Amino acid sequence: MDQEKKSQINLSIPEHYRNLLRRMAAERMMENPAEIVTGTSIATEILITALQEVAGENKKEGKKNE
């Protein structure tokens, strides 16, 4: 992912989830103060992982239907 061209998107999420992402980032930074972690970076990881899983499921479904 690091060498791929990146595009910015804007998402609106409920405040509860924003606060959860901030807390997760703070916890990671407490574990490793040398690493800079933000709620946005965590949300990006979660979104990319979920999209990869969806893409993988779609490929498997396509093979079953052939």
45 pLDDT higher than 80: yes
Sole residue written with tokens 């690493």:
35
Q: Is 9 exposed, middle or buried (0-12, 13-18, 19+ CB in 10 A)?
A: exposed
Residue-range domain boundaries for the chain: 15-65
pLDDT band at 4 (very low <50, low <70, confident <90, very high): confident
- What confidence tier does 65 reach under pLDDT thresholds 50, 70, 90? very low
Instruction: Tell me the per-residue pLDDT of 6-24, one tens digit each, with 9 for 90 and over.
Output: 999 999 999 999 999 999 9
CB–CB of 1/48 below 8 Å?
yes
Q: Structure pTM?
A: 0.74
pLDDT score of 2 more than 80: no
